[in-house]
């Protein structure tokens, strides 16, 4: 059985409700952008606020704080995330118990993995984001994360920079988090990343190259810790700089 949903948590929760109501087994979830095989039965699930609410309420009762793991996992960029979360929710409802740490269960472990990936990327980005200073004196950071986490890292930078204006530009999920030194705003718009010329970037590249110990070269380890997909927005990795 295939369910087609829109990319929203509410819609996914509605799908859970429908699957219990109709006793559908072996459900895979696809978003409307996906191609599906024509051998299986397909149902299109429309978001229903009330049904979604009932599922959320039931889950919160079982999971307490760890319900937030579901919200976090839903930000995942993995293509099968909807099915993984769906299976985890069903497993939880069936057990009627908080099984979030039952790692020997494959539904739980798959869920744990995508949830951890989101959590890890939030942490990585706190380090890997690079700001450049524009002529207007605004610090601008373009980036392209795996998961939809732009607004989750915003509070970190607000606390850190307090009165410094900056913009976090997620050009993959088309989100801009702007902070003017007092308040923040999230804008959804598709804009290509800007190129900013900033002398300090050049100085940092010099620093990065100098602090390396050549006799201990270990590029594989470097790439393990700092995956290549993040290099594109890092001045120290910009060969043209």
Partner 1 sequence: MISEEKLKILVDSAKFDVSCSSSGSNRKNNGGIGNASYGGICHSFTEDGRCVSLLKILMTNVCEYNCLYCVNRRSNDVPRAIATPNEICELTMEFYKHNFIEGLFLSSAVYKNADYTMELLLETVIKLRKLYNFTGYIHLKGIPGADTNLIMRAGEYVDRMSFNLELPSEKSLKLLAPQKSKKAILSPISMISGEKQWNKSIKSRFLPAGQTTQMIIGASPEKDGHILKLTEALYKKYSLKRVYYSSYIPMNLKSNILPKESAGLLREHRLYQADWLIRFYGFKVNELISEEDNLSLDYDPKCAWALSHPELFPVEINTAPVEMLARVPGIGLRSAYKIISARRYGKIDLEGLKRMKIPLKRAINFITTNGFYKGLKSENDIKLSLLENKNQPTYTQLSMFSSPEILRSVLIGEI
Q: Which residues bind partner 1 (CB under 8 A)?
A: 99, 101-106, 109, 116, 119-120, 123-124, 126-133, 139, 141, 157, 159-164, 198-201, 203-204, 206-208, 210-222, 224-226, 234, 236
Closer of 7 and 109 to partner 1 (Cβ): 109
What distances in angstroms separate CA 151 from CA 32, 158, 165, 223, one per listed residue? Answer: 25, 11, 16, 26
Please, which residue, 57 or 208, has the CB nearer to partner 1? 208
- Cβ closer to partner 1: 49 or 227? 227
Using N-to-C axis directions, what is the helix angle for 9-21 and 49-63, rounded to 10°?
90
In sequence order, which residues have a C-beta less than 8 Å from that of residue 103 and are 6 or more positions away? 109, 112
Cβ atoms of 15 and 5 within 8 Å: the answer is yes
Kindly report the number of other CB atoms within 10 A of residue 66's CB atom.
17
Question: Residue 213 gets which letter from DSSP?
Answer: -
Q: Which is nearer to partner 1, 22 or 206 (CB)?
A: 206
Terminal CA-to-CA distance of the chain, rounded, Å? 52
Question: For residues 65 and 188, which CB has a smaller minimum distance to partner 1 in the complex?
Answer: 65
Provide the minimum distance between the beta carbon of 144 and partner 1 in the complex, in angstroms, as a whole number: 16
Q: In terms of CB distance, is 4 or 150 closer to partner 1?
A: 150
Closest alpha carbon to 148 in 77, 228, 82: 77
Smallest distance from partner 1 to CB 92, Å: 12
In angstroms, the CA 45 to CA 12 distance is 9
Shortest separation between residue 3's beta carbon and partner 1, angstroms: 25
Helices then strands (H, E): number in the chain? Answer: 8, 8
Q: Which of residues 1 and 241 has its CB atom nearest to partner 1 in the complex?
A: 241
Residue 35 CB, nearest distance to partner 1 (Å)? Answer: 29
Q: What is the largest CA-CA distance in the chain?
A: 65
- Tell me which DSSP letter residue 134 carries: -
Instruction: For the CB of residue 7, give the shortest distance to partner 1 in the complex, in Å.
Output: 25
Work out how close the CB of 116 gets to partner 1 at its nearest, in angstroms, rounded to a whole number: 7
Q: How far apart are CA 82 and CA 74, in angstroms?
A: 7
CB of 234 to partner 1, least distance (A): 7
Closest CA to 73 of 127, 31, 109, 26: 109
């Amino acid at each position: 059985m295939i369910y087609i949903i829109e990319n929203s948590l509410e819609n996914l929760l509605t799908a859970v409700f429908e699957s219990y109501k109709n006793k559908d087994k072996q459900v895979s979830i696809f978003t409307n952008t996906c191609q599906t095989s024509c051998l299986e039965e397909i149902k299109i699930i429309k978001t229903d606020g009330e049904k979604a609410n009932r599922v959320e309420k039931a889950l919160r009762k079982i999971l307490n704080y760890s319900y937030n793991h579901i919200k976090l996992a839903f930000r995942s960029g993995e293509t099968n995330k909807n099915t993984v979360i769906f299976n985890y929710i069903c497993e939880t409802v069936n057990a009627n118990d908080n099984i979030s740490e039952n790692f020997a269960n494959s539904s739980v472990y798959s869920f744990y993995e995508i949830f951890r990936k989101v959590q890890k990327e939030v942490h990585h980005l706190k380090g890997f984001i690079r700001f450049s200073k524009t002529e207007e004196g605004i610090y601008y950071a373009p980036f392209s994360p795996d998961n939809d986490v732009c607004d989750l890292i915003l509070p970190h930078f607000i606390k850190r920079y307090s009165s410094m204006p900056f913009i976090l530009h997620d050009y993959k999920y088309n989100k801009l988090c702007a902070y003017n030194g007092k308040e923040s705003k999230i804008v959804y718009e598709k804009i290509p990343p800007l190129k900013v010329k900033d002398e300090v970037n050049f100085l940092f590249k010099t620093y990065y190259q100098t602090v390396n110990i050549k006799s201990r070269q270990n590029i594989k380890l470097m790439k393990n810790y700092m995956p290549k997909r993040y290099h594109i927005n890092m001045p120290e990795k910009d060969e043209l700089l």
